[in-house]
Chains A and B, each alone.
Chain A
Amino acid sequence: AQSVTQLDSHVSVSEGTPVLLRCNYSSSYSPSLFWYVQHPNKGLQLLLKYTSAATLVKGINGFEAEFKKSETSFHLTKPSAHMSDAAEYFCVVSDLRDMRFGAGTRLTVKP
């Protein structure tokens, strides 16, 4: 069975500073990995995905993530946080059998 762990339930950063949201996964198969963002009272929107091509994946709004098989990690980063990045972020692992969501990380951006 596969699983995904988001290591921080809440991350707080100041505007203009880097963002790091951590995600570890386990999967018996070669997985695809996704990050979704959910703004307050909205549905989820895809930020980026990894599907066995380049290990460094670039997404929307300046976010990127690096797939590290040896560490079973897929951490999400952004060089400079913006107030509009305040939201909840979900890491998702998917393979031919199953798809699992992490519990989510709430990102707060302070002015």
Chain B
Amino acid sequence: NAGVTQTPKFQVLKTGQSMTLQCAQDMNHEYMSWYRQDPGMGLRLIHYSVGAGITDQGEVPNGYNVSRSTTEDFPLRLLSAAPSQTSVYFCASSDGTSGRGPNPYNEQFFGPGTRLTVL
């Protein structure tokens, strides 16, 4: 199993540009999520999905869009990039859900991250 894969690993954007960060998992996990990691702030939840066709907002959703058309894929779209979106982005997946979030007993599997710089 490849686990959770993310592309690209690095990206530089200009303010106002749009782009999509790709995330895929091959473990048939129901729950998938996107986090951003900023120094001293841990990981903050952007959007999440409890299954194909179901997405919801996390703690910091503004400026981002997601969709989940298949169990495997969960892309994150930046609509109009801003310097405040400079960050490291992690996709994660886990087995099962609580209905409205992850199964609280299960491990999250993380991708290797995408380092995004917005100039």
Q: Are B112 and A42 in contact (CB under 8 A)?
A: yes
**Assembly CA distance A34 to B13 (angstroms):** 34
A103 at the interface (CB under 8 A from B): yes
User: For residue A101, which residues in chain B have a CB less than 8 angstroms away from its CB?
Assistant: 35, 42-44
Give the bracket for the number of chain A residues in contact with chain B: 20 to 34
Which chain A residues in 18-48 approach chain B with CB under 8 Å? 31-32, 34, 36, 41-46
User: For residue B110, which residues in chain A have a CB less than 8 angstroms away from its CB?
Assistant: 36, 43-45
A8 at the interface (CB under 8 A from B): no
Q: Are A99 and B105 in contact (CB under 8 A)?
A: no
Q: A103-B41, A104-B42 are contacts. A51–B112 as well, Cβ < 8 Å? A: no
Closest to A97 in B: B101
Q: A43-B90, A101-B42, A102-B42 are contacts. A34–B102 as well, Cβ < 8 Å? A: no
Contact of A43 among B42, B100, B113 (CB under 8 A): B113
Closest to A102 in B: B42
Q: Are B102 and A94 in contact (CB under 8 A)?
A: yes
Which B residues fall within an 8 A CB radius of A? 4, 35, 40-45, 90, 92, 98, 100-102, 104-105, 107-108, 110-113
9 contacts between A and B (CB under 8 A): A32-B104, A32-B105, A36-B110, A43-B110, A45-B110, A46-B107, A92-B108, A94-B105, A104-B40
Which A residues fall within an 8 A CB radius of B? 9, 31-32, 34, 36, 41-46, 49, 51, 90, 92, 94-99, 101-104
